[in-house]
């Protein structure tokens, strides 16, 4: 039975929000408005900055912000170039982060699974998707877990004329949902991996239906506020003058329609805020062991070699050493958020790279090299 139809008035009832503990680091490096925060020797910082500037120069990137952390502490956070004309990039510069949004969306669903809300029933990743939507008999066998792991069989939203024609124009969420519901599956749920933004758009709708809240309100309260992510927001609500200007082929990128990216690629954030999110994930304070396994498990191969997909994150490695990452792309911006876990050594490292350029390649390799230089 459908729990609630989209379009009903959303009634937001939330837990009180508490800011997470402040970032560790030298007090002098945390002055308000500072572009850089550093806790590493000058020689190491110089090597990191040389790598970042060289990468920008070779790819003609106008602005970049980076952050590197270890075991909950910030090692380095800084920026290079211009976020927008007249505004230097810094550690707190706001960027659209593309598919890194899916890390938040996956966390939101798993957060709901771990908790009992008075205004909503429980949710499980094994729940059939058909419990939440009418007119989807052809989705029999599809579970919420298939949406989380991009194994639902839903075709790519971005390869459709529907998407291309509405990328820069206004459209309501229910029309996008109707379009997704009307498409045939590319394969049976669970049979293959195909990263489609349709999956995470549907998860956002499930959260609104099941919890009777606006999706953005839920992310703001249960992800941003609880983790001290004070400068994170969403496309369409973050003022353009407060965030980086995107570029496509060296020219200012057009602003996209945020609704097309709901839940899948519509978040904005900073390098420092993403390190805070990574830190709390690795501390184990946010989720049960079951939820963390859902997020970081090697559920299905997602490419050549040792590349797997969890929920919201790609996964490399096994056993004692693993890395988890997402590359985010949206017109005008490219980014990566990567976590390195070494359980044998008892260390976690995190690297964030945010740029205001389209289609930047080599971000994962850059993250690896920045971390090696900072250690």
Residue 318: the pLDDT is 83
**In sequence order, what are the residues at sequence separation of 6 or more whose Cβ sits closer than 8 angstroms to the Cβ of residue 210?**
3, 4, 112, 120, 121, 123, 132
Chain segment 268-316, per-residue pLDDT in tens? 999 999 999 999 999 877 788 888 899 999 999 999 999 999 999 999 9
Residue 51 lies in a domain: no
Residue 345 lies in a domain: yes
Total domain count, the chain = 1
CB 340 within 8 A of CB 70: no
Residue 174: the pLDDT is 86
Residue 370 lies in a domain: yes
Residue 12 lies in a domain: no
Sign of CA dihedral 363, 216, 18, 123: negative
Lowest mean pLDDT among 95-99, 233-237, 286-290: 286-290
**In sequence order, what are the residues at sequence separation of 6 or more whose Cβ sits closer than 8 angstroms to the Cβ of residue 83?**
63, 65, 89, 90, 93, 95, 243, 244, 245, 356
Q: What is the spatial distance between Cα 14 and Cα 219, in angstroms, rounded to a whole number?
A: 11
In whole angstroms, what separates CA 186 from the centre of its chain?
A: 25
Q: Which residue has the tokens 């963390």?
A: 292
**pLDDT at position 53 over 60:** yes
Q: Give the three-class secondary structure for 48.
A: helix
Residue 311 lies in a domain: yes
The strand pairing partners of 324, in sequence order, are: 315, 339
Q: What is the spatial distance between Cα 25 and Cα 302, in angstroms, rounded to a whole number?
A: 37
Q: Which domain holds residue 263?
A: 65-374
pLDDT band at 249 (very low <50, low <70, confident <90, very high): very high
CATH for 235: 3.40.710.10
**In sequence order, what are the residues at sequence separation of 6 or more whose Cβ sits closer than 8 angstroms to the Cβ of residue 250?**
60
Q: What is the spatial distance between Cα 9 and Cα 146, in angstroms, rounded to a whole number?
A: 28
């Amino acid at each position: 039975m459908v729990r609630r139809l989209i379009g009903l008035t959303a009634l937001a009832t939330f837990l009180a929000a508490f800011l997470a503990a402040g970032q560790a680091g030298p007090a002098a490096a945390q002055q308000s408005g500072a572009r850089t925060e550093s806790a590493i020797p000058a020689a190491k910082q110089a090597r990191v900055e040389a790598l970042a500037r060289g990468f920008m120069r070779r790819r003609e990137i106008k602005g970049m912000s980076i952050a590197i952390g270890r075991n909950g502490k910030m090692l380095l956070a800084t920026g290079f170039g211009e976020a927008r004309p007249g505004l230097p990039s810094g550690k707190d510069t706001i960027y659209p982060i593309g598919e890194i949004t899916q890390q938040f969306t996956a966390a939101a669903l798993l957060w709901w699974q771990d908790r009992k809300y008075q205004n909503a029933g429980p949710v499980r990743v094994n729940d059939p998707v058909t419990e939440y939507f009418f007119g989807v008999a052809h989705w029999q066998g599809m579970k919420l877990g298939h949406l989380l792991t991009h194994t639902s069989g839903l075709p790519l939203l971005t390869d459709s004329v529907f998407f291309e024609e509405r990328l820069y124009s206004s459209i309501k969420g229910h029309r996008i949902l109707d379009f997704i519901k009307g498409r045939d599956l590319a394969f049976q749920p669970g049979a293959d991996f195909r990263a489609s933004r349709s999956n995470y758009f549907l998860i956002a709708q499930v959260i609104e239906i099941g919890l009777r809240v606006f999706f953005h309100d839920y992310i703001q309260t249960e992800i941003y506020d609880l983790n001290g992510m004070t400068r994170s927001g969403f496309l369409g609500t973050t003022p353009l003058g407060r965030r980086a200007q995107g570029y496509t082929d060296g020219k200012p990128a057009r602003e996209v329609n945020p609704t097309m990216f709901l839940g899948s690629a519509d978040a904005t954030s900073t390098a420092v805020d993403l390190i805070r999110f990574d830190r709390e994930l690795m501390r184990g304070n946010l989720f049960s062991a079951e939820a963390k396994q859902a997020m970081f498990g090697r559920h299905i191969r997602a490419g050549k070699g040792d590349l797997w997909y969890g929920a919201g994150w790609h996964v490399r490695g096994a056993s004692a050493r693993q890395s988890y990452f997402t590359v985010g792309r949206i017109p005008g911006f490219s980014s990566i958020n990567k976590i390195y876990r070494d359980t044998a050594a008892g260390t976690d490292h995190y690297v964030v790279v945010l740029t205001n350029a389209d289609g930047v390649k080599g971000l994962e390799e850059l993250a690896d090299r920045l971390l090696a230089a900072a250690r």
